[in-house]
Structure 1
Amino acid sequence: MTVHKQPEYQLHINHPAPPDYPSKGVQDVFATEPFSQSYAERRTAFLEFWRRNPAPDSNKAWYYELVRLEAGGPAHLGIFYAACDYIDARIDCADFVLHSIIRTLYQYPEHPHIHSAMLDRAKRTALGFKYWPDEPGQDSLCTWTENHQILFNVGAYLVGQLYPDEVFQNAGQTGREKMEQTRPRILRWLNLRFRTGFSEWLSHVYYDEDLTALLSLVDFCADEEIARKAAQVIDLMLLDMALNSFRGVFGSTHGRSYENTKKWAAQEGVTDTLKLLFGMGVFSGFDNMSAACFALSQNYQMPEAIYRIATDLERPEMLNQQRMGIRLDQMERWGLHPDKLEDGMILLSLEAYMHPRSANLMVRMLDAFNWWDNSFFTPFKENQALIRFGRMTGLLRPLVTVLERDVTRNTREEVNITTYRTPDYMLSSAQDYRKRYGGDQQHIWQATLGPNAVVFTTHPARRDGKSPNYWTGSGSLPKAGQVDNVAIIIYDIDTGPGLYVTHRLRFTHAWFPRDQFDEVIEANGWVFGRLGDGYIALHSQQPYHWNEEPGEDAGRELIADGKRNIWLCECGRAAVNGPFADFVAQVSRAEIATSGALRVTYHSPSQGRISMGWDDPLTQNGKPLVQRDYPRYDNPYVQAGFPAKDIVVQAGGASLRLDDRGKRDVG
C-alpha cells in the first residue's frame, strides 16, 4: 500500500460536515481514450465530479475542498482544521498538506466561506511549522527525498513571501530571511531537474508531490526566474508522463513505486492528473493532489504539444529512450562534495545514505540534525555503535563497500529508460540498472495492456512488512534489456549477508492477473494473455506455478523457484501479428537457448536473434545495443542531449522550446 495512505497518515476530523455535503461517493469510469479534446471541458468535469463527491479519505483532502469551493459548493471546514492539526503535529508528509493551506492563504483569502478565524489559524500553522532538519524540535518528518525537499523549501519561501516581516516561530527567522535561505535551494533543485531529470524517475506516486510544489511556485512566487523555471520543470514532467503512459496508465519503469500502484492503475498517485490533462485515466482521488492544483491554477497552461504526444494513440509504434539522474562517482561534476552538509541533502535526494562516497557525511548529518531518533533511521540507530566505531577508525567506508549491495538499496543513481508504445500495449524498462543490488522501491520493468492488465516481475525482499517487501521493491534487482517489444530480465539473487534484508527468498515471481485479460493461454512454457487487440507472452527459464492460495494474488501470481532465473517477455498486436492464435503459435515455437552462465538467446518472431547474459551485452542479430549514456530525450517528438541545454518538442504542428537559461516558448 502507498505508505502515506496508511492509517497513521490520515486526518482526524472533529467537526461535522456542512448540510447537503455528499455522504457517499460516485465512482468514476476509467477512460482509455480522451473523453474530451477541450481542457475547459475536462476541468469542468473534474470540478463537477468532486463537487458531487466527498473528499477522499487521505491527508490530501483539503485540496478537494478547495476544488469544491471553486465549483460553488460549501467546504467541509472540519477537514481544514484537521489539516492544520496534522501540520502542527509534524507528522510525516505534513509538507504535502501544507501546500493546501498555502494555496488557501494566497488564492482564497477573500472567499466568503473562508472566514477570518480560518485565515488566522492557517497563518499560525504556516509560521509555526518546522521547515528544515536543522531547526529545533524532534520529529520523524522525512525532509530529504527529492519530492520532500522541493515541498519544504517552496513552502518556506512562499510563507516568507506572504509574511516577510513576521517571525517563523520554530526557526526564529523572519520571512525575508527564510526566502534568502531557501531561494538557492529551490533554484539548485530546479536546475538539476531540468538538466538531468529525476532520481525518483517517472514515479507515478511522487511526481504528484513534485507537481504540487511547482504549481505553488508558478501561481504564487513573485520571483520571475523561479516561477519561469518551475513552469519549465512542470512541462518536462508532463512530457515524461505523455511519453511513458499508455491510455491513462503511467505504466512505465519507476524510480519509486508501491505494490498497489503497480497492480491497479486507479491507485496511481497521478491518475486524476492524467485524466484532467490528457483525458485518460480516472478521477479516483486515491492519493492525488496535483490534479486539484492544476484545476485551480491561474498561471499554468499545459503546452498543446504535450497533449498531442499523450493522445497520439494511433501511431503504430513509438520508441522513447531517455536518461535521468546522476552517478555518485561523478558527484563533483554537479558541484557536490561529500564533506558539506548542504550538499549532503542533495545526495540524500538520491537516498545515498550508506553509499561508500557519502557514508561518513551521513553520520555527520545524523548527529547535526538529531536524526538518530527519526523513525526512518531506525536501522542506523540499531547499528549506531558499529557505525560510530567505523567512522572513528576510518573503517566505515570499507565496511559499507563490503555491504554495498544491501545498504545502498534505496540509492537511485543514473537510469537509462526504454519505453516502446503501440496503440495496443506499452513495454518499459530500466536498462541494466544496478543488477544484483538491493532495491527499495524501484520498479524495473512493466508491460501494460490496460488499466489493470499489467505484467511485471520482481525478486521479493521479504514476505511482508515495510518496503522492500513482497511486491514493493526488490530483494535483488535484475538485469533488464529491451529491444522494442521484447524484454529479457535476468536474476542472480544476492544471498550474501545483509543488514537491511537478512533472509533472502530464493525465488522470483511475476504479476500476471489472469482475470484482467480477455484470454490467457499456456503453451510450451509460455503464458500468453490478450486484452482487446493487445497480446503478451511471458516465459520463465525455471519451472513456474500459479499461486492459488486465498488472497489478492490468487490466480494472478506466477512463482518460479531458484536463485537464478531468466524471464522473457514479448508483446504483440493484432495489426502486426494477426489473430491471437497466430501470435501464440509464433512465440511458442521460437527457439530459446540458455547456458549455465546466465545467458540466453531468444529467436524472437518479431525482432530476430536477441541475446543477453548476466555479464554479456544485449545484442540483436549479433550487433551490440547501447544500454547506457542515453540522451536526455530521444524519440520522434524531441531529441535533447544529456545534460540538457536546449529542449525542443514538436508534435502535431504544436511546439515547445525550453533552454537552461529559463526560456519557455510555447507554439
Structure 2
Amino acid sequence: MAVRSADQRQPTPWPRFGSGGLEAPYVRRLVDFMNARLYMADHRALLLLKCMISSDLPGHLQDQASEAILAFRYSMLEAGSDSMTLWTENHQVTAAAAEYLAGQLFPGRIFSNDGRSGARHQRAAQAQLMIWLSDRFRFGFSEWLSSTCLAYDLAALALLIDHAADEALVERAKMVMDIGLLDLALHSFNRRFAPSMGRAHAEQVMHPEAAEIAPIWHSAFGQSPELEIDKLTSLFVAREKYQVPEAIFELATAQPVRRVLSSQGLDVDEVRDELRRHPFHPRSQSLDLIRFWWGQQAITTPETIVDSARAMRVFELQDSRILAPMRRYLKMPNPMLISTLRTLNPITSGKALNRANVQTISTSNYLLSSVQRYQPGGFGDQQHVWHASLRGNIEVFGNHPGSTQLHQENRPPTPSHWVGNGINPDLAQHHNVLLAQYDLRGRKGRFEGPRQELVHIHFPFVLFDQTRLGANWVAGRRGRGYIGILGTHRFELISETELVQRGQRTGYAVLVGDEEEYTSFAFFLEQLKQYRLRLSGDHLTLTSPLGRFDLTWGKDFKVNGHVIDCQYPRYEAPGVQVPRNPDEIEVIGSGHALRLEWGAGIRESTEMLRDSRVYDDID
C-alpha cells in the first residue's frame, strides 16, 4: 500500500527563475562557490542542480551552471586539493546525491576533473548511495541525532526522491528518510530538537528553534516555513514527492510521557566484522572499511590508522588541507604507526563517533537526553553528551570546556568552550535522573591546548520563572517544569547563564520533574534538598527519598543495587520496538502503522482497525 500522509499540506514550491530570490546573482554565487571548492561546496552543487532541473534558467546561466557541474570534484577518490570534507557521513550522501543527479543530467558528457562520462559517475554514485542507505537503515546514523547533519541528510534525500530515475534507489531513500524523521519525532520536545548529539554547534544547542533542522521539523510536522533558498534544507521544504507517513506524524505531534532508548552507529572496532557479515552489502576491502570509518571520522584511532595512512598514499590525499596534520606520519612503516599513535595520543582521536546508546525522556513540560557511558576519559570533539529542555526555550547542558591547537579553515575549532568535551565524563541516566563524573587527570595529548581543571553548566537564569542557588546545588522552574542539579563541589556563578565547578575529580546529578510528579516547585525543592551526592575515588553515589544511584567509573551503573544495562536496542520506545542491526522496522502510531522491510523493498502504511494507544505512562 502506498504511504499516505496525515499532513496533506502542499510543500512550498521551488521558485522559478526571477522570483522568490532566485535571480542571476544567486545562481552565480552557487557557481563561484563550487568552482572554488570551498567547504560545503557539495551543498551548493545540490542547490544548483535543483535550479537547473526545476527553475528554467536562462541559457547563459544554464551554461555556467553546467560548466561548474562538469568540473566539480565529487569524491575523495578524485584528484584535487581543497577545503571539502567529502568523507564524513553527511557529506558522503550530499556529494553522492550531487554526483548521481549530475551524471543523470549529463550522461554523455565528460566530467573534466577525472575524465569519466556522466553515465559512469551516475553508476558509481548509485552504488555508493545504496550502500550508504543500507548502512543507515541497519546501523543508524554515526552522527547521531545531530540537528545539523541530520538536516543535511534529509535535504539530500529529498532531492534524490524528487529527481532520481532509479525506482529502487528512490524507494530506499524514502525508507531512510522515514527513519531520520522517526528519530526527529521521538527525540523532540515542544517543537524543538535538542537531544544528545554526535555533532553539535553551540548556537544550535542554545537556540534549537533556529537550528538547521528547525525548518524540516516544521515542514514535516507543523506549519510549512518560509522557503530560504540559500539553505540546503530548502530542498526538503520544497520537496515534491515525499510524504511523511501518518504513523511518524502521529508520534511527532503527540507529547505523551515518553521514554526512548535507542542505539545509533557502530563502535570503531565493530566495523570490520559488521561489514563482513552485512546481509545486503557484505564487504571487507580496505577502501570499504575506510569509507565507513572516515564517515564516522575515525581517521586517527589504533584500529584505523594503518588503513587511513594507506588510503592517503593510494589516493594521493597528502595535499588535502584538511588532512594536513597526518602528512608527517605517512612515511612511517605501518608497524610503527600504531605505536606512534598511542605515544602521541592525538586529540583528533576524539573526532571518532563510536556507537551511541541514547536515552531521552520527555513529558509536556521537560526533556532529558543523554548518551550512556560514552568513551569516558577520552577526548571529545563535537559530541553533545547530555541536554535538558524546559518550555520557554530553556536549554540546560554541561561539558568540560576543551581547546585544540588545530585550526580549521572551514569552521571554528573543536572542542571549545561549549562544544564537545576536552575530556569526556562517565555519564549514565535512569529515567529522569542523570549522573556524570569527570576525571581530568589523564595524559595530555598531541594537539591538545591548555586543559582547564573545571566543568561548567549552561543554565539560563534569566529565562526561568523561578530559580534557587545554593553552595553546591541549583534549581529552576519554567511553567510546570522543574530542573535541579547537585554538585560534588561548590558551584560558582560566572554569569547569568553559566555555573562552574572546579577540580580534577568532580561530579554532578541532574533531576527533572514537573507538577504531575511534585505538585509544586516548593515541594520539588524540598525533595531536592533531601538528595545527597558523594564522590569517593571513582565512585559517585546519589541517595534520595526515591532510591540510590551508584556510578563507578568505567564499571557498573546501579539503581537500588540493580545493575542497569546501558547497551540499548536500536529502538525501545512507545510505538517502536526494534533490535540492533534490523532488517525490518515497524512504527505504530495512534491510528496508523508503517512497515519498512529493506531486503524486499517494502514500505507500506496501514490504518489500524482498532484503537491502539501506544503512549503508556512510564513505570
> One-letter code of the match for 1:219?
D
The residue aligned with 2:425 is: 478
CA contact under 8 A between 1:249 and 1:451: conserved in structure 2? no
The residue aligned with 1:212 is: 155
- Higher normalized contact order (CA 8 Å, seq sep 6+, divided by chain length): 2
CA contact under 8 A between 2:488 and 2:533: conserved in structure 1? no
CA contact under 8 A between 1:145 and 1:350: conserved in structure 2? yes
The residue aligned with 2:280 is: none
Is residue 601 of structure 1 aligned with residue 541 of structure 2? yes
What is the correspondence of 1:160-239 to structure 2 with a 5 Å cutoff? 160-239=103-182
> One-letter code of the match for 1:309?
L
Q: Partners in 2 of 1:405 and 1:450 — Cα distance?
A: 40
1:257 aligns with one of 200, 221, 224: 200
The residue aligned with 1:105 is: 52
1:655 aligns with one of 586, 593, 616: 593
CA contact under 8 A between 1:163 and 1:175: conserved in structure 2? yes
The residue aligned with 2:612 is: none
CA contact under 8 A between 2:144 and 2:197: conserved in structure 1? yes
Q: How large is the RMSD of aligned CA atoms in angstroms? A: 2.3
> What per-residue deviation string (whole Å, max 9, x for no partner) do you get for residues 218-250 of structure 1?
111111111111000000000000001111221
Q: Which runs of 5+ in 1 are unaligned?
A: 1-36, 48-65, 548-553
> What per-residue deviation string (whole Å, max 9, x for no partner) do you get for residues 531-562 of structure 1?
11110001221112011xxxxxx311111111
1:499 aligns with one of 432, 446, 471: 446
Q: Partners in 2 of 1:429 and 1:524 — Cα distance?
A: 25
**Structure 1 residues 353 and 308: alpha-carbon distance in aligned structure 2, compared to 1, 3 A threshold:** same
CA contact under 8 A between 1:633 and 1:641: conserved in structure 2? yes
The residue aligned with 1:27 is: none
Shift, 1:347, TM fit: 1.1
CA contact under 8 A between 2:306 and 2:337: conserved in structure 1? yes
The residue aligned with 1:329 is: 269
The residue aligned with 2:388 is: 447
2:553 aligns with one of 614, 631, 642: 614
Aligned length: 589
1:517 aligns with one of 461, 464, 468: 464
**Structure 1 residues 365 and 99: alpha-carbon distance in aligned structure 2, compared to 1, 3 A threshold:** same
**Structure 1 residues 154 and 451: alpha-carbon distance in aligned structure 2, compared to 1, 3 A threshold:** farther
2:35 aligns with one of 65, 88, 97: 88
Q: Partners in 2 of 1:599 and 1:294 — Cα distance?
A: 47
What is the correspondence of 1:40-55 to structure 2 with a 5 Å cutoff? 40-41=8-9, 43=11, 47=12
The residue aligned with 1:298 is: 240
Is residue 643 of structure 1 aligned with residue 562 of structure 2? no
Is residue 420 of structure 1 aligned with residue 349 of structure 2? no
Q: Partners in 1 of 2:171 and 2:218 — Cα distance?
A: 25
Tell me whether 423-432 or 269-278 shows the greater mean CA deviation: 269-278
**Structure 1 residues 393 and 129: alpha-carbon distance in aligned structure 2, compared to 1, 3 A threshold:** closer
> What per-residue deviation string (whole Å, max 9, x for no partner) do you get for residues 19-67 of structure 1?
xxxxxxxxxxxxxxxxxx9845584xxx4xxxxxxxxxxxxxxxxxx74
Corresponding residue SS for 1:149: helix
Q: Partners in 2 of 1:86 and 1:258 — Cα distance?
A: 23
> One-letter code of the match for 1:300?
Y
CA contact under 8 A between 2:467 and 2:474: conserved in structure 1? yes
Q: Partners in 1 of 2:167 and 2:10 — Cα distance?
A: 29
Q: Partners in 2 of 1:285 and 1:493 — Cα distance?
A: 43
What is the correspondence of 1:130-169 to structure 2 with a 5 Å cutoff? 130-169=73-112
Q: Partners in 2 of 1:72 and 1:260 — Cα distance?
A: 31
Shift, 1:368, TM fit: 3.1
**Structure 1 residues 70 and 211: alpha-carbon distance in aligned structure 2, compared to 1, 3 A threshold:** farther
CA contact under 8 A between 2:78 and 2:114: conserved in structure 1? yes
Corresponding residue SS for 1:321: strand
Shift, 1:600, TM fit: 2.2
2:310 aligns with one of 364, 367, 376: 364
Shift, 1:592, TM fit: 2.8
**Structure 1 residues 196 and 494: alpha-carbon distance in aligned structure 2, compared to 1, 3 A threshold:** farther
Shift, 1:287, TM fit: 8.6
**Structure 1 residues 666 and 491: alpha-carbon distance in aligned structure 2, compared to 1, 3 A threshold:** same
Shift, 1:504, TM fit: 1.4
The residue aligned with 2:437 is: 490
Q: Partners in 1 of 2:194 and 2:544 — Cα distance?
A: 23
**Structure 1 residues 357 and 300: alpha-carbon distance in aligned structure 2, compared to 1, 3 A threshold:** same
Q: Partners in 2 of 1:456 and 1:228 — Cα distance?
A: 38
Is residue 319 of structure 1 aligned with residue 259 of structure 2? yes
The percentage of counterpart residues that share the same residue type is 29
Shift, 1:71, TM fit: 12
What is the correspondence of 1:380-399 to structure 2 with a 5 Å cutoff? 380-381=326-327, 384=328, 387-388=329-330, 391-392=332-333, 394-399=335-340
TM-score (norm 1): 0.84
The residue aligned with 2:296 is: 350
> One-letter code of the match for 2:103?
G
**Structure 1 residues 91 and 206: alpha-carbon distance in aligned structure 2, compared to 1, 3 A threshold:** same
CA contact under 8 A between 1:247 and 1:280: conserved in structure 2? no
> One-letter code of the match for 2:502?
D
The residue aligned with 2:563 is: 624
**Structure 1 residues 244 and 161: alpha-carbon distance in aligned structure 2, compared to 1, 3 A threshold:** same
The residue aligned with 1:633 is: 571
The residue aligned with 1:592 is: 533
Q: Partners in 2 of 1:259 and 1:574 — Cα distance?
A: 30
